[in-house]
Amino acid sequence: MNTTTIISLPLRLLALSSALALAACGGGGDGSSNSNTTSSSTGTLSVSMTDAPACGFDHVFVTVDKVRVHTDPNADTNGTGWVDVTVSPARRIDLLSLTNGVLTTLGQTPLPAGTYQQIRLVLVANGAGALANSVVPTGAAEQALDTPSAVQSGIKINRPFTVAPDTLTDLVLDFDACKSIVTRGNKTYGLKPVVTALPTVVSGAVTGVVASAPGAQVFAERNGVVVKATVADASGNFTLSPIEQSSTAGNVDVVVVPTSATGRGTGIVRGVPVVARGSTAVATAAAPLSLPASTFGRVSGTITPTTAAGTVRALQQTGGATFEIAATVAASDSGAYSLFLTQPALPLAGPAVGTYQTPLPAGGIPLTQDGTVAGKYSIQATSASGSVITQPVTVTTTGVSQNFAF
């Protein structure tokens, strides 16, 4: 698998080596009949993939067959006008190897210049022999990952991007494995894909170092919604990339949530700027983020009916703002969910919060602990139809039960 680690954003995808040389093939045309494209000029689309951390898994494997693009956001998969980037041979990728700014190249192809509205990521189906798509739960054996919708029609991503004439356009597919894996009560696994697409021309990175917290989950958030996530390495280094620069949404908040084994609590750095094709550091090895000591608690329960197929987030409020601390997906057959002592975990100490400064202070950005919200969370369940229920809880080391009925 071709991978690269992003250190300097201006060279992000252009530095990827051994890109597959792939020809364009349409489902029934090359899209030139659509008014959004210009048939007399051609650009090049390069597609790569990255991932957010996965909770409770050592490996998450998917096998990519092709990426399809179309100028119409509502185009039928069997219609004309599709342009395909075919991955030949199909690539089996461990999504959990694609954290901290690591990308893998899927391929590139020439296509008519213009604006494209719909992207589909098509996976190979599991069959006889080795599993094309699978998960390896921590401490357990490899299990099949059911991917019915992704195999039949592709994972649909509606995200406009423009291909300019005689220009290479880099597009990154960000696959959030943590929020995409559904654990069923019978210990089987299904894929409920959460994938976004980002053109690199409008994207940047945030880097940092956290002290005494290897394996911490690190989130870039806007208004309490995670826009990018990663895991700190053994030395506490982390890279959040790509993050879309947004003139309307503004800066991001960086939220660090260590594992329970570290005995450290949540750290938050507010107002971190994102610079297109640039990188912003919130901490360095000489002045890492220092997190408060903490014990950990858990929240578990059920979502009914099971057809609600709910997702669950643990939110915490401090300083008038809301932050996501952990998230999980309820089991599709039982509705059960768990925010456990392992990842995702809920620190009981209040978060330590600071504001981004430039230049960085010699001793690092100071973080001040908010003890008034220690152990206080809002547990938010969202059904497949988009209905939302939020309940306040006070988490303890013995655990809290919170059920949701839609």
Residue that finishes a domain, picked among 193, 217, 250: 193
Q: Do 224 and 269 share a structural domain?
A: yes
Q: Does the residue 27 lie in any domain?
A: yes
Which residues fall within 8 angstroms of residue 200, CB to CB, at 6 or more apart? 12, 13, 170, 171, 172, 242, 277
Q: Do 188 and 126 share a structural domain?
A: yes
Q: Does the residue 198 lie in any domain?
A: no
Structural domain span for residue 132: 3-193
Q: Do 251 and 166 share a structural domain?
A: no
Q: Do 303 and 170 share a structural domain?
A: no
What is the per-residue pLDDT for 344? 57
Which tokens in the block code for residue 91? 């690539």
**Residue 275, domain CATH:** 2.60.40.1120
Identify the top-confidence range among 42-56, 323-337, 360-374.
Answer: 360-374
What is the per-residue pLDDT for 178? 80
Residue given tokens 């798509």 in the structure block: 133
Total domains in the fold of the chain = 2
**Tens digit of pLDDT for each residue in 241-299?**
999 998 787 899 999 999 999 999 999 999 999 999 999 999 999 999 999 999 999 99
**Tens digit of pLDDT for each residue in 304-321?**
998 887 899 999 999 999
Return the bridge partners of 375, or none. Answer: none
Q: Do 135 and 214 share a structural domain?
A: no
Task: Write phi, then psi, for 149 (nearest 5 degrees).
Answer: -70, -40
Give just the sign of the alpha carbon dihedral 177, 178, 183, 187: positive
Q: How many CB atoms lie within 10 A of CB 153?
A: 14
**Tens digit of pLDDT for each residue in 160-206?**
999 999 999 999 999 988 888 888 878 899 998 889 999 888 899 99
